[in-house]
Chain A
């Protein structure tokens, strides 16, 4: 190619009509988009394995102590869990609409949907915070000495030790999920700042698409956490 001296980040001197966002090492915007999407999925595979390890350990311990896990699940509040599921699913919808708006070049609607996604994501964390506080008051935090109590009619004494195992899984799995939500909010802030500069349009919306993949992945983790943590004890005691 003639433009070997073009700046590394741009390709403007290369093919007339190319987007200024086309990096030098890609043939065209389509190939660049496919590569970015593919690369993000490779990262998400490592995330699948990261959460998969915790889900695998959970499966082993739940198979080992099914009754203890069911009894302990009664100390989790399914109303919080269900509300958070609904909030996250709505945030996934607004994220999907944000990607669509970026693709169509609808700048105002893109910013609106990004803000909506961040609002729903923050709402999730706030609800989670209230929930953690409830566990703290309820003395159900085995990770901290002096913040664990196992008593009352819903707490069979023979499960005193095994109940702590489920609550450890609960705090690690929801905790890592919450960290991913916080990272997602940071990503959305960056994308929003880029969107405000009018960076995105029909020929270049890759960062929005790739951030969306991350956001939806975190949603999927919660889709599995909700039934596995909150809903396993219902049949035993509450109804």
Chain B
């Protein structure tokens, strides 16, 4: 079983999540070009890690559960890398188009 997390920690995580929501909203109003989506996904990933690590107690889980959590995200990364790798590389070939 997990050790008991102090209320203080949970409230601090919640505060960080709320602040990051404001940050992602504010950043979206600034035109950074292609960087906008990178920043938005970076903040979302950071928020996700806070939820997974503290709220979902993965930091206290045993190594087997940790491995499976990692495997889930790794598997999704494969989905994205292969799918987008296909579409983005099509235009590299002579006469190739994205679609």
Contacts and interface: CB of A to CB of B under 8 A. Distances in A.
Interface residues of A, number: 52
B80 A56 contact: yes
B4 A63 contact: no
Interface residues of B, number: 52
Interface string A56-83: 1001100110000000000000100010
Given A56-B79, A100-B5, A224 B21 contact: no
A90 interface: yes
A175 interface: no
Q: At the interface, is chain B mostly helix, strand, loop or mixed? A: helix
B13 to A, nearest CB: 8
B71 A92 contact: no
A138 interface: no
Contact of B14 (A78, A82, A89, A213): A89
Contacts of A41: 65, 68-69, 72
Across chains A and B, which 8 residue pairs bring their CB atoms closest together, nearest first?
A231-B28, A227-B40, A45-B72, A235-B31, A93-B14, A52-B76, A96-B55, A234-B28
Interface of A: 29-30, 33-34, 37-38, 41-42, 44-45, 48-49, 52-53, 55-56, 59-60, 63-64, 78, 82, 85-86, 89-90, 92-93, 95-97, 100, 103-104, 209, 212-213, 216-217, 219-220, 223-224, 226-228, 231-232, 234-235, 238-239
